[in-house]
Amino acid sequence: MKNLTFIIAFIIVLITSNCNNNSNVVVVYTTVDQIFSEPVLKEFESGTGITVKVVYDTEETKSTGVLNRLIAEKDNPQCDVFWSGDPVRTIILKNRGITTPFQSQVANDIDMVFKDPDYHWTGFSARARVLIYNKNLLAAADVPRSIFDLTKEQYSGKVAIANPLFGTTTFHIAAIFTAVGDEKAKQFLADLKSNAVVIATSNGDVKKRVVQGEIACGLTDTDDAWEAIKEGANVGIVFLDQQGIGSLIMPNTVSLINNSPHPANAKKLMDYLLSKETEAKLAKSCAQMPLHKGVEIPGNIPSLDNIIPMKIDYDKTAKKLEEIQYYLKEWAEN
């Protein structure tokens, strides 16, 4: 009898131990480059003792891999928190019932334009779409100032963009469609193709080709462009269309997954990601622009106050992104 009691007690201890271990976890899926997101998640882990399990996207399938995984797992969610590099795919998840509202008090002073009205997502630390150019190949006076300049004959074969089926390039193209209308956007893409635009595998590949002098200029994100400057490359950066439709601003977003396995830990991580401290870290590591006021940042980081942004409806852009997928596939492959 004593032996039976001991065995039962031992089993209870094992079960309790396993439950405690399982509860001290948070699972994150992210489209943000591992080199930038991993240090932030590691600091949360060391500061809280909560084990962070992360699924990263690859550079080539940026933003689509984990998105499709979250959609596939809808009825059996494995993820707690989705950290996205832009709001559009987060909205797709909201529209499919995959996220659930969470209003973080930490983000109270972030402008509502960077939040879902129902709090399915909250934005922080923004990047922008920019033109990076090789100063050895383009004089300052010859650098394009509008995205529509890229179709001019003088830039034939000299411009690169990442594959528009993936990552922030898809977001950018969808935003252009919503800003100028389908007809003008399709004409722009047709003119780019006629002008021998180079389709790179990723934003990082665009940066590399420009740095190496293979291409004179290309569209990429501010984090990739600033990384090139930090590495000592002889490149410049231009915020396009400051006299026109403006530059696309892309906040990171964070969302709570509906029926996630570890919701309490998920909310702790979300508060951490939305803090001023995290924004300060991302400003230093990858030149991201804080959405909180009063965040201490390096002097070379541009302020959103000095950039004319593209006027964008994130919900409409998310719908447009899904609507033009087949068209973009045809454009990229033909």
Q: Are 30 and 82 in contact (CB under 8 A)?
A: yes
| CA–CA separation, 154 and 258 (whole Å) | 51
Dig out the tokens for 134 from the structure.
């090789």
Dig out the tokens for 170 from the structure.
């898809």
Backbone angles phi, psi at 135, to 5 degrees: -70, -20
Dig out the tokens for 171 from the structure.
């977001």
* Ordered per-residue pLDDT tens for the chain, 334 residues: 444 444 433 433 333 334 334 689 999 999 998 989 999 999 999 999 999 999 998 655 555 789 999 999 999 999 999 999 999 889 999 999 999 999 999 999 999 999 999 999 999 999 999 999 999 999 999 999 999 999 999 999 999 999 999 889 999 999 999 999 999 999 999 999 999 999 999 999 999 999 999 999 999 999 999 999 999 999 999 999 999 999 999 999 999 999 999 999 999 999 999 999 999 999 999 899 999 998 988 888 888 888 999 998 999 999 999 999 999 999 999 8
pLDDT at 21: 45
pLDDT at 110: 95
| CA–CA separation, 305 and 120 (whole Å) | 26
Name the nearest CA neighbour of 114 among 130, 97, 127: 127
pLDDT at 22: 60
- Integer-rounded Cα Rg, in Å, for the chain is 22
Dig out the tokens for 152 from the structure.
């001019």
Q: What is the CATH number of domain 2-126+251-303?
A: 3.40.190.10
pLDDT at 20: 39
Read off the DSSP letter of residue 59: S
CATH number belonging to the domain at 127-248+321-333, selected among 3.30.930.10, 3.40.190.10, 3.40.920.10, 1.10.357.10: 3.40.190.10
Using DSSP bridges, classify how beta strands 159-162 and 99-100 pair: parallel, antiparallel or unpaired.
Answer: unpaired
Domain locations in the chain?
Answer: 2-126+251-303, 127-248+321-333
Element (H, E) at 84: strand 81-84
| CA–CA separation, 162 and 253 (whole Å) | 22
Question: Which distant-in-sequence residues (6+ apart) come within 8 Å of 155 by Cβ?
Answer: 144, 149, 195, 216, 217
**Same topology between domain 2-126+251-303 and domain 127-248+321-333:** yes
pTM to 2 decimal places: 0.83
- The residue type found at 68 is N
Name the nearest CA neighbour of 290 among 125, 168, 105: 125
Neighbours of 13 (CB within 10 A): 10
Buried b or exposed e, range 117-126, using 16+ CB within 10 angstroms = eebbbbbbbb
At what angle are helices 314-323 and 167-180 packed, to 10 degrees?
A: 110
- The residue type found at 122 is T
Q: Are 128 and 221 in contact (CB under 8 A)?
A: yes
Q: Are 122 and 116 in contact (CB under 8 A)?
A: yes
